Amino acid sequence: MSKLFLVAKGLTKRYQVGRRLLDVLRGIDLELGPGEFAALRGASGAGKSTLLHLLGGLDVPNSGEVWIDGNNLAVMSDRALSKFRNHQIGFVFQAYHLLPELDALENVCLPARMARRDPAQTEARGRELLDRVGLGDRLEHRPSELSGGEQQRVAIARALINEPILVMADEPTGNLDSHTGHEIIELLWSIWTERKVTLVIATHDARVAARAPRILDLVDGQITDAA
């Protein structure tokens, strides 16, 4: 690989459980190139979400470093890291994490408004993204008025509003039926091919992982490329 985009070096993460320490990640080394699509595969409880949160700067490791596009997350201040996440990383969560009091368009535009981008351009881009994910006619619907699949489509559009260089999806089909889950994975695949962002999906579903050109297996706190 001639150029690296996302690099993890020696990541460890442990938690205090009662009187004992639980080692979830035991020295993760990972390298991804720009525009690469990788599935992080592992059983429930293997530490996939923990690793994704470390890679995206939502949590900090006990040891090790994460570099994204030449930026070392470990040396950033909290304010600088928050700004970097907002501008450069799009997150898609299993539970959607939409604000119930906002409609679909407002939810999608929220990260751009937090970044103080031009309001008119933000709304235009939000409408364009919702149309792209098939919800151009549901702009004013609140999360309670949308199905699970529709809420996840809103979440995907929200992840893209600031034109991130990295998109991370944590079990994006976990709360969906198999048919809707398939539609969401196909949507993520098509967006990846169109926009050439680096995409990492954490999943325990073999069918989801099979859509990725590269599969990374997380077992016993270690990560390896699947054969």
> Does residue 56 sit within a domain?
yes
What is the predicted pLDDT for the residue at 19? 86
* Residue 63 · residue 10 · CB < 8 Å: yes
Report yes or no on 186 lying in a domain: yes
Which residues, at least 6 apart from 73, have a Cβ–Cβ distance to it below 8 Å?
57, 65, 66, 67, 81, 84
- Would you state the pLDDT for residue 46? 86
CA distance 86 to 37: 21
pLDDT on residue 110: 97
Residue 123 has pLDDT above 50, yes or no: yes
Task: Report pTM.
Answer: 0.92
> Residue 1: pLDDT above 80?
no
Section 45-54 average pLDDT: 92
pLDDT at 17: 85
Residue 52 in any domain: the answer is yes
Report how far apart the first and last C-alpha atoms of the chain are (Å, whole number): 18
Evaluate whether residue 10 is within a structural domain: no
The verdict on residue 23 lying in a domain is: no
Range of the domain at 213: 34-60+77-225
| pLDDT tens digit sequence for 52-70 | 999 999 999 999 999 999 9
The CATH number for 101's domain is: 3.40.50.300
Residue in 181, 107, 101 with CA at minimum distance from that of residue 144? 101
Sheet containing 198-203: give its strands across: 89-92, 166-170, 198-203, 37-41, 214-219, 222-225
CA angle 107, 109, 112 (to 5 degrees): 130
- Per-residue pLDDT tens digits for 94-114: 999 999 999 999 999 999 999
How high does pLDDT run on average in the chain?
A: 93
Confidence of residue 121 (pLDDT cuts 50, 70, 90): very high
Q: What pLDDT is attached to residue 77?
A: 95
Q: Give the pLDDT of residue 16.
A: 86
The reply to whether 86 falls in a domain is: yes
Q: How many CB atoms lie within 10 A of CB 153?
A: 26
Using CA atoms, how far apart are residues 200 and 215, in angstroms rounded to an integer?
A: 10
The Cα 178–Cα 219 span in angstroms is 25
Stretch 119-133: mean pLDDT = 96
CA distance 212 to 171: 14
- Tell how strand 63-68 and strand 222-225 pair up: unpaired
Q: Total structural domains in the chain?
A: 1
Q: Check pLDDT > 80 for residue 2.
A: no
| pLDDT over 70 at 31, yes or no | yes
pLDDT at residue number 40:
95
Supply the DSSP string of 180-219, one letter for each residue: HHHHHHHHHHHHHHHH--EEEEEES-HHHHTTSSEEEEEE
* 196 within domain boundaries: yes
Amino acid found at 199:
L
Whether residue 140 lies inside any domain: the answer is: yes
Q: Is the pLDDT of residue 226 over 90?
A: no
Q: Is the pLDDT of residue 148 over 70?
A: yes
